[in-house]
Amino acid sequence: MIDHRRLRVALLGAGSVGSQVAHLLLTQAAELAERSGADLELAGIAVRDVDAPRDVDLPRELLTTDAEGLIVGSDIVIELMGGIEPARAHILTALNSGADVVTGNKALLATHGAEIFDAADQVGASVSYEAAVAGAIPIVRPLKDSLAGDRVVRIMGIVNGTTNYILDRMDKEGADFADVLAQAQALGYAEADPTADVEAYDAAQKAAILASLAFHTSVPLEAVHREGITSIDKAMIDGARAAGYVIKLLAVCERLPADGDQGEDGEEISVRVYPALVGRDHPLASVHGANNAVFVEAEAAGALMFYGAGAGGIQTASAVLGDVVSAARRHIAGGVGVGESPRMSVPVAPIGRITTRYQITLEVDDEPGVLAHVASILSEGGISVATVEQTVEQPAEEAAAEQAPAPRRARLVIGTHHAREQALGDTVARLSSSDVVERVVSVLRVEGE
């Protein structure tokens, strides 16, 4: 028989994840004690309103509105309230009173992570946050521990289930963004106000956390370049498919190659979230529905991918409990918590400094010499062309009905070799103001090639 120690666990928040965590702590107590070596006593659950309706029936006597009173004297504090305050204040109270902290609060970590990790390091406590990125998928621990002896070069993550669900249905059904969004809202896959998801605020928070972890730095949320998916239409999805790609909202975190522009150590990273083209044979292309996946390239390990459910109360609760068991084991083993690795300050480059491939779609006059003209503008901008496909557009019916014959238009789809974003942007601006280019239809980055 093992002599179990008793650890006092405080839970802050009883939303969809919190109520599942409470339920599992109460119903799986014997298994959790076996795994952790400690009896995990749920001392209380801090909520805003003890009478609010809950997904899961929780013992009334555990509910309290006095979070600070609950925290003091606890060994492990689980923060699942979300938001910045009072979550931040409660976590600092917990750390300063000697508790280990487990949180799933991506907004807080993306904005106040450095402050919280420093506070933990000072008292030798730990802050675990597997639930903050990609729900149930173990990605924080692999990056922090498994790859600790390796050097991460690039991360490409599908880290927002709502947008992946929308893009996947648009791809499968040839449907338009607004229609799929409405369906997703009806089915509960998207919020009534979908801004945080479709404008990629949620994904940007996760990108900041992933990049901070992978590159041992502290990436401010403002440094993350962010573009949402609201401009993605059926034509772009179809064009992607025709060229052998699928459009995914990607969080890309990468080390930039040294070229003299970098910060003091010659190191520079890029952290960005945008819809990008991914080759259909890339492992990320097969991530369907509301699933998440994080594709990691490391110098020694090569390419790794971590796949699973990105959200959901019960799924995310699994990640929280994994962290709780680890925190309990640390308590039993004695010794101080292992904090974040020493953090360097690695500068985040502006988006203009990244290098990737692009797909530029132009509507041009269908006249001799147009392609040559476009090609010369690209060449002058230093943009090297890999592929060009030209299709003549059928004149629209309204135009055909008019007196004067409508000018024939052609569509040019240009795939570039790797180019600097700054040079690409300048060149697209010149294309846009050129006489032969009617319209720049779209410019999409190609990732993973």
Judged by the rule CB under 8 A, the positions of this chain that interact with a second copy are 2, 20, 24, 28, 31-32, 34-37, 130, 136-138, 141-142, 145-151, 216, 283, 286, 298-309, 312, 314-315, 317-326, 329-330, 332-338, 341-342, 344
The percent of the chain in helix, strand and coil, each rounded to the nearest 5, is 40, 25, 35
Does the annotation count 206 as an active-site position?
Answer: yes
Instruction: Write the DSSP symbol of residue 144.
Output: I
CA dist., res. 113 & res. 148, Å (int): 20
CB of 288 to a second copy, least distance (A): 9
Active-site pick, 172, 206, 234, 248: 206
CA dist., res. 277 & res. 255, Å (int): 20
CB of 76 to a second copy, least distance (A): 12
Classify residue 241 as left (phi > 0), alpha (psi -120 to 50) or beta: alpha
CB of 425 to a second copy, least distance (A): 35
Q: Pick the closer one to a second copy by CB: 109 or 364.
A: 109
Q: Pick the closer one to a second copy by CB: 143 or 249.
A: 143
State in Å, rounded, how far the first CA of the chain is from the last one.
Answer: 55
CB of 318 to a second copy, least distance (A): 4
Q: Pick the closer one to a second copy by CB: 242 or 303.
A: 303
Instruction: Write the DSSP symbol of residue 348.
Output: B
Q: Please check whether residue 416 is in contact with residue 358, taking contact to mean a CB–CB distance below 8 angstroms.
A: yes
64 beta partners: 46
Q: Pick the closer one to a second copy by CB: 102 or 413.
A: 102
Q: Pick the closer one to a second copy by CB: 113 or 322.
A: 322
What is the token pair recorded at 332? 């039993």
Sort 96 into a burial class: Cβ within 10 Å, 0-12 / 13-18 / 19+.
middle
- How many CB atoms lie under 10 A from the CB of residue 406? 13
CB of 342 to a second copy, least distance (A): 5
Q: What distances in angstroms separate CA 39 from CA 95, 97, 336, one per listed residue? A: 21, 20, 20
- Which residues are catalytic, by number? 206
